[in-house]
Amino acid sequence: MSTAFETSPARPTLERDVVVIGAGPAGLMAAYTLKKAGKSVAVIEARQRVGGRTWNGAVRDINGTEHFIEIGGQWISPDQTRLISLVDELGLKTFKRYRDGDSVYLSPDGTRHTYSGDLMPVSDTTNAEMEKLIGLLNTKVMEMDVERPWEMPDATALDSISFTAWLKQHSDDQEAIDNVSIFVASGMLTKPAHTFSALQAILMAASAGSFSNLVDEDFILDERVVGGMQSVSLKMAEYLGDDVFLGSPVRQLNWTTERDPATADQLNNVVADVRNGVANNGAPGEVIAYADEVIVKAANAVLAVPPNLYHRIQYVPPMPREQMVAHQHLSMGLVIKIHAIYETPFWRAKGLSGTGFGGGHMVQEVYDNTNYGPNAANGTEGEDPHGVLVSFISDVHAEAMWALPEEERKHRILSELAAYLGEEAMHPIAFYLSDMGAEEWTRGAYAASYDLGGLSRWGDLQNQPTGPIYYACSDIAAEGYQHVDGAVRQGELAANSILQYATVSA
């Protein structure tokens, strides 16, 4: 029996070595690597643009002038070496985040403190507790092989306790707990710290090299790409040319494999399937991707979409039991990225860097995000004279904000920015909120992570190919987990695995 997508109106049918589903950084890196190695590829993308969660956008100010914003991912940190070398290879440049001047700390009661250096101006006791927690987490990171977190000696125990509960086991200082947990919970996984495990938190830190790296904003938010992070995808898509198909969601993926006759159950009308898994995972076979505008037949597929969207595709035959169950336990976080543009970076004149932290507050972090690039007026390259603040509202706070009428939401958010940087923050000339949770082909931000217990139980399956289908996404990465660097590494890994298989079996 053929399905609706196999028989729907005529679309071109192409034959390629590999079909890549999703033109985010992971999918494009897979296709870019394969094409450079001489393989024929087709990249099929649901949206009318490449880049996925990296997105160069614009916002109009009160005078109608457009300002550049990065709606999605933007920062690069020094440990993200594969992304750094790719940026260089693609001929792109980077610039440093502005960081001169004092930072601001909002204490739990809302008192505002300015400080310089890495240490937040908390009491000596809280500081000692924070140091202790960070030290403990750094030790755990050292015990973890980031490629195989589920193999850590106490992986199951660490995966069965929430990050909040783990922190509370080691400290009873709530301010210390809030200040440490923001770097993983609201700051990275964008889920409340009671919804994910200590093991997941340690993986987040291990993927960035250490927990100390995660809490160091000068490290983790180091540089941006001139022209925006989406330029990385745009450049790879330029190389791929006509091999990229936009506006064409893949709805169905057929793949050939031996069905297990023992699974047939005539009594209950169940046909033979692959529920117990398949032999030769990763081997070339035949896949057919049915998308809205094109059909692609290939020997392998790279599924380069976020795991929460795997279910948007119908697999024929259905995926094996284990693979489907594993991926169901990866869910997206939720964060609103706030962009507020001002005539000038007014905070700098007050000796402030624009950086602010406040564990437990709705807006827990704010940074100077002033743009740098070609100056349209005189053709030179330099910093935009307009000041830009970027800030984030995560998880339950994000839900509460989306529930408010627009004007009230804006007022609440700007009031929080003003608490950090002064009353001037109330008067941006342009204001924009990134809403990736509403984007059909993302449905959350920044990325997907496991629910409690999921990483130790299913993590080893997340990157295992299913027959000829490979998985590649930042959300199942080791190094660079949940970041563009992880996406790029995953795309390259899938491509190299396909190439290696071809070489070994030739």
Ligand X SMILES: Cc1cc2nc3c(=O)[nH]c(=O)nc-3n(C[C@H](O)[C@H](O)[C@H](O)COP(=O)(O)OP(=O)(O)OC[C@H]3O[C@@H](n4cnc5c(N)ncnc54)[C@H](O)[C@@H]3O)c2cc1C
Give the number of other Cβ atoms within 10 Å of residue 12's Cβ: 9
Please tell me whether residue 333 binds ligand X under the rule CB under 6 A: no
Closest CB 55 distance from ligand X, rounded Å = 8
**Taking Cα atoms as reference points, which of 306, 285, 291, 302 lies closest to residue 252?**
291
Closer to ligand X by Cβ: residue 25 or 358: 25
- ∠ CA 476-478-484, rounded to 5°: 70
Please tell me whether residue 483 binds ligand X under the rule CB under 6 A: yes
| Residue 66 to residue 69: CA distance in whole angstroms | 9
Binding pattern for the stretch 201-240 against ligand X, x by CB under 6 A and - elsewhere: ----------------------------------------
Closer to ligand X by Cβ: residue 16 or 483: 483
Give the number of other Cβ atoms within 10 Å of residue 344's Cβ: 12
Phi and psi torsions of 97, nearest 5°: -70, 140
Please tell me whether residue 140 binds ligand X under the rule CB under 6 A: no
What stretch of H or E contains 497? helix 484-505
| Residue 108 to residue 55: CA distance in whole angstroms | 34
**Taking Cα atoms as reference points, which of 239, 275, 244 lies closest to residue 257?**
275
Closest CB 102 distance from ligand X, rounded Å = 23
User: Site for ligand X (CB under 6 A): which residue of 442, 456, 462, 497?
Assistant: 442
Site for ligand X in 303-332 (CB under 6 A): 304-306, 309, 312-313
Amino acid sitting at position 467: G
Closest CB 476 distance from ligand X, rounded Å = 9
Stretch that binds ligand X, among 40-48, 88-96, 181-189, 236-244 (CB under 6 A): 40-48
Closest CB 377 distance from ligand X, rounded Å = 28
Binding pattern for the stretch 86-125 against ligand X, x by CB under 6 A and - elsewhere: ----------------------------------------
Tell me the residue length of the chain.
506
Structure tokens at 492: 């390259």
CB-based contacts of 499, cutoff 8 Å, min separation 6: 33, 34, 37, 39
Please tell me whether residue 44 binds ligand X under the rule CB under 6 A: yes
Cα distances from 282 to residues 33, 48, 295, 302, 496, in angstroms, run 17, 30, 22, 10, 11
Please tell me whether residue 484 binds ligand X under the rule CB under 6 A: yes
CB closest to ligand X, residue no: 24
- The DSSP bridge partners found for residue 13 are 295
Please tell me whether residue 188 binds ligand X under the rule CB under 6 A: no
Please tell me whether residue 338 binds ligand X under the rule CB under 6 A: no
Stretch that binds ligand X, among 140-148, 270-278, 341-349, 440-448 (CB under 6 A): 440-448
Interface residues with ligand X (CB under 6 A)? 21-27, 44-47, 52-54, 72-75, 249-250, 304-306, 309, 312-313, 337, 434, 436, 441-442, 445-447, 473-474, 482-485, 487
